[in-house]
Amino acid sequence: MIRWAIIFFVVALVAALFGFTGIAGMSMDIAKFVAIIALILFVISLVAGGFRGRGTRI
């Protein structure tokens, strides 16, 4: 998911370089959205892993 955020960020930079401000703004918004979703999923996986813990085997 972070890869998609980086791709949209690069698209936004290239579009801004060529003067396509509408496409650049939209790509930046998508990149921010995808990065936030990836961060939320990362935190959820950390919390779920913390609750699961390590089982003790004898």
pLDDT tens track for 10-40? 888 888 888 888 888 888 898 899 999 999 9
Contact between 12 and 27 (Cβ < 8 Å): yes
Torsion angle of the four alpha carbons 55, 47, 3, 10, in this order, in degrees rounded to the nearest 10:
-160
Contact between 7 and 30 (Cβ < 8 Å): no
Torsion angle of the four alpha carbons 15, 39, 3, 22, in this order, in degrees rounded to the nearest 10:
-10
Residue 36's pLDDT is what? 93
Decide if pLDDT at 4 tops 70: yes
Task: Look up residue 40 and give its DSSP letter.
Answer: H
Residue 18's pLDDT is what? 87
